[in-house]
Amino acid sequence: MKLSLTTLVVALTSATAALASPAPSLRTSIVDGIAPLFSASTAETIDNSYIVVFHPHVESHHASTHHEWVSDCHSSYLQKRGQTSFSATDTEEVDGEISTMFSGVKHVYDFADGALRGYAGSFSDEVLEQIRSHPDVAYVERDQLVHTTSVQRGAPWGLSRISHKDALTFSTFNKYQYDSVAGDGVTAYIIDTGVNIDHVDFEGRAKWGATIPQGDQDIDGNGHGTHVAGTVAGSKYGVAKKANVVAVKVLRTNGSGTMSDVLKGVEWAAEDHIKRQTKAKKDGKPFKGSTANMSLGGGKSRTLDVAVNAAVDAGLHFAVAAGNDNADACSSSPAAAEGPITVGASTLSDERAYFSNHGKCVDIFAPGLNIQSTWIGSKVATNTISGTSMASPHICGLLTYFLSLVPSENSTYHVPITPKKLKARMISMATPGKLGDIPSGTPNLLAYNEFANGGKKKKVDGDRASRIKEAFEESGPSPSASRLRCRWPWRSSFFSISLRLGFSRYDIRLHWIGLWGFVGACFFFFMEGFIQGWDCCLGLPFTVTIIDHDKSLEGANCNCCSRCPRAKLPDAVRGCPTGSEWTN
């Protein structure tokens, strides 16, 4: 499947104080018979640089013919000027960079089976008029320029916050609770300034994917992308500590870039995701999915919103930053796009960060003030910065984390998890009503990883792991909930319960029928599914009840071994008991 995107500049990042700004509007130039020319009123546009988007009916072969036509138009213009190449007079300096004027087609986009087709380039007014008059063209959008911002110093705390429902205390400040699968088997695309792939925190799991800006190096000379990647998948600073990272560089070393390059980077990531998925299926190898993070932003752009939505439709689980303008997130892109998860920034004291954008286009909040993560300059460098750019990778990390808990596509137990479904799941898991300074119309939702299914662990004689029973204290089941029970009528030895589950809300309850003076141990564990079951070593009869609120439990098995590795049992209780089975 061929993918492509349209052009877009975007770059949002670490934030300093940002004052509320008026919502940007799209200025439109429309003349009868020609395609409209869009320009965001608050965007820093690039002279003579445009993104051209085709009508939906334009097929790939027709688009190729159009590309040849526009190249001919451009060549004719150059010949009229008496030149076939560019001299120094044909360049201009934009934000410290040399940008070639009238250089013709720069990128070609053919995204997700025609969801977005077009191209980007630099054209004279004469050629632009011809382009806008062509019947293939739906609209033209001016390319934009964006920048990274300065940083703030402080202490790391974000990982702890997303694994606790309640506000952090002294005892929970440095405790990140998570499942050890932690992103294993999932690839996260970091569409940013690049990644310091040699940093020790990535443990060799990071690699370079693509450098989109022409003439730029395969390094992160800025640090922003490395910081984002560390929050997604670093072994110390990351949410999904075993995930793979792919660097997609769309912003230059100085932290700025063009819309056209950003769109090409999104296209590259989506296309690479599909290639890996197709190859894994062909080879019969595991494939758990892909995520992407774009801690970038610019003026309102219908092209970028369409492009990111197309990437989501292609299967990329996407997180984007809400923006650092203390303004309505719906006024900027890609924050306004419907497909990705748009993330605002929260503080250690559970307030909306003063710079964070807000409004109905924000889906969720995550830690974004004073976030420590990986940096550039050495293999062990770190930095502490702030912004919705730092909040978004917490959500990308959670998307990666949850995908790793789902069986691979080649597994019998695979449950398809679309980006739309996982986005809804992420929002439903979030902690509501915890944040202060949330403007009207903005969802008051704080990210949560639902460790241990959100249950409260009750510790019994917790000084020794071998004498701990974990019982989940949950509210009662809903009237429509379905149940499965597995009863062991006699004293057991070692057993495990394997559950085939989708994304459900459920309780797991362990009930002891009688006490024999021996207390074993039960350990909640994850294996091939989102949740797999219990691993117990007990010396007493019991009943296990699974309460599935969403009725998505597909099957389950009780299994038993003849040994108990975590405790020494009398010979009389060794061996598998009879009569153990699941009942409704």
Q: What is the pLDDT of residues 55-68, one digit of tens each?
A: 998 998 899 999 99
**Could you give the CA distance from residue 259 to residue 98 in angstroms, rounded to a whole number?**
16
- Residue matched to tokens 């792991």: 465
Instruction: Judge whether 49 and 260 are in contact, CB under 8 Å.
Output: yes
Is 224 annotated in the active site? yes
Q: Report d(CA 471, CA 540) in Å as an integer.
A: 16
| pLDDT at residue 312, as a whole number | 97
Residue 45, pLDDT > 70, answer yes
535's enclosing H/E stretch is: strand 533-537
Give residue-wise pLDDT tens across range 242-265.
Answer: 999 999 999 988 778 888 999 999
CB atoms within 10 A of CB 375: 21
Q: Which of 107, 224, 227, 317 is catalytic?
A: 224
259 vs 584, more confident: 259
pLDDT reading at 461 higher than 60: no
| Percent of the chain whose pLDDT exceeds 70 | 60
Integer Cα distance of 385 and 364 in angstroms: 20
Instruction: Parse the chain into domains and list their residue ranges.
Output: 26-146, 158-451, 453-583
Instruction: Tell me whether residue 74 is one of the annotated catalytic residues.
Output: no
Contact 356, 369 (CB under 8 A): no
Helices H, strands E: what count in the chain?
A: 8, 32
| CATH number attached to the domain at 158-451 | 3.40.50.200
The per-residue pLDDT for 314 is 94
Average pLDDT over every residue of 528-547: 43
Choose, from 136, 192, 350, 363, the residue flagged as catalytic: 192
Q: Name residues whose C-beta falls within 8 Å of residue 310's C-beta, 6 or more positions apart in sequence.
A: 3, 5, 111, 112, 115, 116, 270
> At residue 526, does pLDDT exceed 90?
no
Q: Give the CATH fold of the 26-146 domain.
A: Alpha-Beta Plaits (3.30.70)
Given a contact cutoff of 8 angstroms between Cβ atoms, the answer to whether 463 and 564 are in contact is: no
Instruction: Give 550-566 pLDDT, tens digit per residue.
Output: 444 444 444 444 333 33
User: What element of type H or E holds 546?
Assistant: strand 542-548
Q: Which of 122, 256, 331, 389 is catalytic?
A: 389
Q: Tell me the pLDDT of the chain averaged across its residues.
A: 72
What average pLDDT does this structure show over 208-217? 94
- Whether 389 is a known active-site residue: answer yes
Q: Residue 107 gets which letter from DSSP?
A: E
Highest mean pLDDT among 39-48, 178-187, 278-287, 572-581: 278-287
